[in-house]
């Protein structure tokens, strides 16, 4: 399974690369701040909502520590998505949040 560190994701964003980030945390966690531009789909809703996503686009998955996004990665990869887990999750994120 593919992984990036929070620093690698932050560097790509700061260099102007357009990333498709999905935050799989719960509503109350996302309310405390998420990566700017990230789409919020709680892990429990992912099996239904991922069918609205474009399978041609690579996605980066984020949660609090990397565990739930790892599970989300397995779920989406099984359906043919190109997904990368942000290792360490928001606990290791040092970039801006919204």
- pLDDT tens profile 38-89: 999 999 999 999 999 999 999 999 999 999 999 999 999 999 999 999 999 9
For the domain made up of 2-92, give the CATH fold: Oxidized Rhodanese; domain 1 (3.40.250)
User: Using only C-alpha atoms, what is the Rg of the chain?
Assistant: 12
Tokens of 85: 């887990």
How far apart, in whole angstroms, are the C-alpha atoms of residue 88 and residue 34? Answer: 14
Tokens of 16: 């102007």
How far apart, in whole angstroms, are the C-alpha atoms of residue 14 and residue 25? Answer: 23
pLDDT-based confidence at residue 29 (cuts at 50, 70, 90): very high
Task: Select which of 41, 61, 63, 76 is catalytic.
Answer: 63
14 an active-site residue? no
Q: Are 40 and 52 in contact (CB under 8 A)?
A: no
The domain segmentation of the chain, as residue ranges, is 2-92
């Amino acid at each position: 399974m593919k992984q990036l560190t929070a620093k690698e994701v932050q560097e790509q964003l700061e260099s102007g690369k357009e990333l498709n980030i999905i935050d799989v945390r719960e509503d109350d966690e996302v309310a405390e701040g998420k990566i700017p531009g990230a789409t919020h789909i709680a892990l429990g809703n992912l099996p239904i909502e991922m069918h609205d996503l474009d399978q041609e686009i690579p996605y980066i998955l984020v949660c609090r520590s990397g565990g739930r996004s790892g599970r989300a990665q397995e779920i989406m990869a099984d359906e043919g998505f190109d997904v990368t887990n942000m290792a360490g999750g928001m606990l290791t994120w040092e970039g801006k949040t919204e």
